[in-house]
Chains A and B, each alone.
Chain A
Amino acid sequence: MLSIVIKMLFGERVKVLGLVFGVAFATLLVAQQAGLFVGLMTRSQNVIADAQDVDIWVMDPAVEYVDLIRPMRDTELFRVRGVPSVAWAVPLFKAATSVKTPDGRTKSALLLGVDDATLTGVSPRVLMGSIFDLRRPDAIAIDRVGYMQLWPGEPLRLGQTLDLNDRRAVIALITDAAPAFSAQVIIHTRYSQALAYVPTGRNQLSFILAKAVPGADAADVARAIASRTGLNAMTAQEFSSRTIRYYLKHTGIPISFATTILLGIVVGSAIVGLTFNMFVTDNLPQYAMLKVIGVSNARLIGLVLLQAAVVGLIGYAIGIGLAALFFEYACTPTSALRGFNLPWWIATGVAATITLLILLSTLTSLGRVLLAQPAMLFWTKR
């Protein structure tokens, strides 16, 4: 019986195409926009993500998210180190600046100064060079995409020089650093070197990165740091979440993406709902005939839902496949869209959304199927 209703479905090729298009369109739009949105939110806390060995972030109490810098006194570092259960604490300098190649190509950059001794905070994904080369004079690490923006078409090469606020910087390391929110060139260097590149006022320390001793709960240690120093301290996870929340609350990004996603759902629902309604209306005599032959209402609903599920599955497969192709080919590791992807949980969420969309779209049609009276077969001739 299942194969029969599937054949009935595909007997209406144009309508099936319309249904599949509607579902595929909604799936593609929702999955692609959700993937881009999540990627953008992930980018907003790239610095936190790259500091992989860090448990606790300490900052001025006025700091709301990772891109807002209110420098602290250098002495705060020693106060944090003095808090019990803190295994170690290192400084992090963060500033926006610009870099220029010898031939004059200029790009905005995110400059990160990491602890001179431990180099904690440098992206662990090294593509070329050794992290210890950062200890050389004027040495900097640059991310691969930033390098490609500055020297388009040229192969990656160590030893290239850059002008950073009229000071010489030598590329000693090329990393695959997590992409920044605004796609800047990402430069890591020693803390002392960074201060030389970007002179600041009396207070210079952007963040303090700390590690809890083994066995201590990072959240408890963060609370202890905050209590003892009066600074703001939180786990890396909490700081990530706070940064994302800031972008959600204070920018138009979520509204923009939500509007597009909603549009995808509404347009998809409209296409699927109207086309399925047409399909059911045109096939009412067939459904009525099935009732005459002995198919119960419950079984008929099951068969209609099967037809909806089949077009839903095909449409979803096409839509999610196209979305996956977009992320695969448009968001390569060397492109400006790197880091955007389609995680499994978005694909699952989209599947749930599309299921709901199809159920809602078929609801009115199901009512028509239920109300389809076999008696109509006797009177349609007149």
Chain B
Amino acid sequence: MSDALTTPRDAAIACRRLVKDLGRGKFRARVLHEVDVDVYAGEMTLLVGPSGCGKTTLISTIAGILKPESGSVQLFGTAIDKLSRRQLTRFRGNNVGLVLQQLNLFPALTAVENVAIPLLVLRHGAEMAYAGAASLLEGLGLAAKIHKYPAELSVGEQQRVAIARAIVHQPRLVICDEPTAALDAASGRLVMQLLRATTLSKDRAVLVVTHDHRIFPFADRIIHMDDGRIGTIDSNLNREAA
């Protein structure tokens, strides 16, 4: 089934007539074709579709990492396409947490230092930042690993550290790009359970880009994309939770 679009003010993410081109010269191609899509707080939304359909471009644009050619993106009522680069960076730092497929943990930093970075960037005191990071890692079952370096952690543990880093500063939007792509079924299931348990709240939206059908049951909504356009939207799912 397909949802009607709500007003931007009601949605955590509201994209309207979003157009994005990638490449230069003769290689320039339209990747997003006037995309309209809403994502709601309190829900885990999956963005699915074949490779090259524009999923990553869409979440990059939603996160303010790519600038659209036209159209608008509102996050919690703020039109991010109207923000200056500095304002956008600050807004993203405050409101968006990202978990990427390649976790991009800092190899020279311990788990707790990696997780503390967003708090330090937001100029929390070091003591408070490390205490907050350690507390969150303990909550994720990594109490014994907080002083380990990423290379000393298993892939699953690294994934948990990356999730902790994405949510330690309490962002209102958490975006995950293929969080289970490198994991086996059991580990992927664990990560999704963890994501639901730790990131989802009534004032926080979670948007997950995935190819992985195994994690569809964790979704509240699934948005299907194809060829740079939004297709069907399946709502009120969360069969796993049910």
How far is A375 from B126 in the complex, measured between Cα atoms in Å? Answer: 28
- Contact B108–A378 (Cβ < 8 Å): no
- Contact B121–A7 (Cβ < 8 Å): no
How far is A8 from B116 in the complex, measured between Cα atoms in Å? Answer: 14
- Contact A295–B107 (Cβ < 8 Å): no
- Contact A294–B65 (Cβ < 8 Å): no
Can you show 6 pairs from A to B with CB atoms below 8 A apart?
Answer: A1-B117, A286-B106, A290-B121, A293-B93, A295-B121, A297-B85
B 157-193 contacts with A by CB, 8 A: 165, 177-178, 181
B 31-83 contacts with A by CB, 8 A: 56, 59-60, 63, 65-66
- Contact B93–A294 (Cβ < 8 Å): yes
- Contact B121–A12 (Cβ < 8 Å): no
Interface size on B, residues (CB 8 A): 34
Besides A289-B106, A292-B98, A298-B86, 6 other A-B contacts (C-beta < 8 A): A8-B109, A286-B106, A296-B90, A375-B65, A378-B60, A379-B56
- Contact B94–A294 (Cβ < 8 Å): yes
Give every chain B residue within 8 A of A289 (Cβ-Cβ): 104, 106
Task: List the 7 closest pairs (A to B, CB-CB), nearest first.
Answer: A294-B93, A11-B108, A374-B65, A1-B120, A289-B104, A378-B56, A294-B121
Q: Which of B59, B101, B106, B121 contacts A381 (CB 8 A)?
A: B101
User: How many A-B contacts if CB must be within 8 Å?
Assistant: 80
Q: Which of A4, A10, A290, A380 contacts B102 (CB 8 A)?
A: A380
Give every chain A residue within 8 A of B94 (Cβ-Cβ): 294
- Contact B100–A378 (Cβ < 8 Å): yes
CB distance from A309 to the nearest CB of B (A): 18
A223 contacts chain B at the CB level, 8 A cutoff: no
B8 contacts chain A at the CB level, 8 A cutoff: no
A 1-57 contacts with B by CB, 8 A: 1, 3-4, 7-12
Residue of A nearest to B165 (CB): A293
- Contact A286–B93 (Cβ < 8 Å): no
The size class of the interface chain A forms with chain B is 20 to 34
How far is A3 from B98 in the complex, measured between Cα atoms in Å? Answer: 23
A242 contacts chain B at the CB level, 8 A cutoff: no
B232 contacts chain A at the CB level, 8 A cutoff: no
Residue of B nearest to A294 (CB): B93
B196 contacts chain A at the CB level, 8 A cutoff: no
B122 contacts chain A at the CB level, 8 A cutoff: yes
Question: Are A377 and B92 also in contact (CB < 8 A) when A4-B117, A4-B120 are?
Answer: no
Give every chain A residue within 8 A of B59 (Cβ-Cβ): 378
CB distance from B86 to the nearest CB of A (A): 6
How far is A295 from B121 in the complex, measured between Cα atoms in Å? Answer: 6
